């Protein structure tokens, strides 16, 4: 029964690490990828935990009750830890630059930019 609980906690810890790594990688790609990984990754990781429970249930020494009673509180504790980190300002220094396609034409050197000071001065007499 003790091994079942220990395996449950280890799987939750591995889930926490995989979540962080996958979110970090998706954040380098785009905000859309980050959102997709956050939502889709949760479902996939939850499915992996359930699959581990069904696979381990084939062994006589495995206790699904102990596994579940270890996984649920460990997950709640890790979520509380994540909330504490976020409330404390972890990630506040995160700066996501604009992509080239989201920039205005004058910001990337093309298109109709605002008139320069010399151009504005030469047009003053014609108005």
Identify whether 118 is part of a domain.
no
Domain, as residue range, for 62: 2-92
SS3 content of the chain, % helix, strand, coil (to 5): 75, 0, 25
**Tens-place pLDDT, residues 55-112:** 999 999 999 999 999 999 998 998 888 788 777 766 666 666 676 655 555 555 554 5
pLDDT at residue number 68: 92
Residue 90 C-beta-side C-alpha neighbours within 13 Å? 7
Can you tell me the mean pLDDT for 20-28?
Answer: 88
Identify whether 63 is part of a domain.
yes
Identify whether 102 is part of a domain.
no
pLDDT beyond 80 at 42: yes
Identify whether 100 is part of a domain.
no
Classify the phi-psi angles of 115: left when phi > 0, otherwise alpha if psi is within -120 to 50, otherwise beta.
beta
Q: Which residue has the tokens 């102990």?
A: 66
Identify whether 41 is part of a domain.
yes
pLDDT at residue number 79: 84
pLDDT beyond 60 at 124: no
pLDDT at residue number 105: 53
Single pTM value for the model: 0.62
Identify whether 25 is part of a domain.
yes
Identify whether 103 is part of a domain.
no
The two three-digit tokens of residue 58, written as one number: 């084939």
Name the domain count of the chain: 1
Long-range (24+ apart) CB contacts under 8 A made by 74-79 are 74/8, 74/9, 74/12, 74/13, 75/12, 75/15, 78/12, 78/13, 78/16
Name the DSSP letter for residue 57: T
For the chain, give the percent of residues with pLDDT over 90: 31
pLDDT at residue number 84: 81
Identify whether 18 is part of a domain.
yes
């Amino acid at each position: 029964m003790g091994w079942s609980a220990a395996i449950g906690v280890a799987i939750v810890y591995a889930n926490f690490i995989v979540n962080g790594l996958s979110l970090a990688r998706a954040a380098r790609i785009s905000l859309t990828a980050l959102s997709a990984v956050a939502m889709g990754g949760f479902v996939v990781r939850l499915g992996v935990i359930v699959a581990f429970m069904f696979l381990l249930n084939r062994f006589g020494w495995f206790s699904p009750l102990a596994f579940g009673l270890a996984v649920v509180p460990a997950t709640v504790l890790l979520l509380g830890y994540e909330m504490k980190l976020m409330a404390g300002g972890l990630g506040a220094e995160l700066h996501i630059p604009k992509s080239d396609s989201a920039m205005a034409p004058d910001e990337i050197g093309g298109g109709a930019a605002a008139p320069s000071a010399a151009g504005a001065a030469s047009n003053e007499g014609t108005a």
